[in-house]
């Protein structure tokens, strides 16, 4: 059984897009993340030190969306996944990134990507 921590619909402004025009002004983005880890020790002991700090996860996502510039949503998602796997004792992350006002002619709510990345075998020692 895999336990999951989920943060949904985090809202950020960022300068991402293929064209220079898209990157001129900040645009709205939404990010969801799911982190797979063993939550039982934290649940049994009621101890934040035994789980992942949700606030820090939010900050990692915010820093990547607001303080960097990427052309592709795929690159934003990869950056977030990489940082979450690097910083936290999780075995897998799922990252969804949505651009709320994509430059696509026509009516749509958003455009987005979803990726799932797992910790490599060499990095298993960081898991809790």
Residues involved in catalysis = 99
How far is 80 from 7, CA to CA, in rounded Å?
A: 13
How far is 95 from 112, CA to CA, in rounded Å?
A: 10
Strands (E) located in the chain:
3-14, 27-37, 92-99, 111-118
Beta bridge partners of 116: 94
Residue 38 has which token pair?
Answer: 């063993």
Residue 17 gets the label, from left (phi > 0), alpha (psi -120 to 50) or beta, of: left
């Amino acid at each position: 059984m895999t336990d999951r921590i989920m943060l949904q619909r985090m809202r950020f402004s960022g300068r991402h897009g293929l064209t220079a025009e898209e990157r001129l002004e900040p645009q709205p983005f939404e990010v969801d993340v799911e982190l797979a880890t063993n939550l039982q020790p934290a649940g049994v002991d009621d101890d934040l030190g035994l789980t992942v700090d949700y606030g820090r996860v939010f900050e990692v996502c915010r820093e990547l969306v607001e303080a960097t510039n990427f052309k592709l949503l795929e690159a934003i998602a990869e950056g977030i996944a990489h940082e979450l796997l690097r910083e936290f004792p999780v075995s897998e992350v799922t990252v969804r990134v949505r651009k709320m006002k994509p430059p696509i002619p026509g009516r749509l709510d958003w455009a987005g990507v979803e990726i799932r990345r797992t910790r490599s075998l060499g990095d298993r020692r960081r898991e809790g």
